[in-house]
Chain A
């Protein structure tokens, strides 16, 4: 596709359920990033991938959060045993290379997946 695609766009779940959020980056982009944005807050870094490897998982809030990327393309963010504090917009972004490695290091963001945990 032309841009970063995320699904679902909206997800309402009950506390304790598992959820999977999907990100399809721009074709050819080697770097992929997951951020979380709570209402009125900035972007909280979660994890990034260079190819299929995740060099930095330091932003994952707890061991209930995990992410994988296969084939250097699609990534899935999984949240197990969801809690109400997990409610947020989960944003995925991709870039041609690691931010800063190129002239602009521009990240292209998807529209996000809005997660509501009841």
Chain B
């Protein structure tokens, strides 16, 4: 089975940096994904890590440590539009993505 934990809520201010952590337990790990979901909208893909290390993509970066079962999503230069739910997801090879409950990020001015 798979178990994914991430904080329920986080708050931050515009221009700041925020790190959203995710820990997971899964057999046959085959990658860790981060999705963003604005209220009332469909989730959209942010990042994918299968090897240890940091993947940078503009203001967003994602880190993975497979030995620790740990990932984080780093958001820099926060903007109001970054207020959303951030979903961590893992999968075993050849199966569907299993999502965590999501972290709701509120960005204030």
Give chain A's interface secondary structure class.
loop
B91 within 8 A of A: yes
Residues on the A chain within 8 Å of B93, using CB: 100
- Which residues of A from 5 to 50 have beta carbons under 8 Å from B? 33, 35, 41-43, 45, 48
Residues on the B chain within 8 Å of A98, using CB: 94-96
A86 within 8 A of B: no
Tally of contact residues, B, Cβ under 8 A: 24
- Asked if B91 contacts A43 (CB within 8 A), the reply is no
**Interchain CB contact (< 8 A) of A109 among B44, B91, B102:** B44
**Interchain CB contact (< 8 A) of A104 among B41, B45, B102:** B45
- Asked if A43 contacts B87 (CB within 8 A), the reply is yes
**Interchain CB contact (< 8 A) of B43 among A43, A99, A101:** A43
Residues on the A chain within 8 Å of B70, using CB: none
Cα–Cα distance between A59 and B94 once the two chains are bound (Å): 15
Interface of B toward A, CB cutoff 8 Å: 30-31, 33, 35, 41-45, 48, 50, 87, 89, 91, 93-102
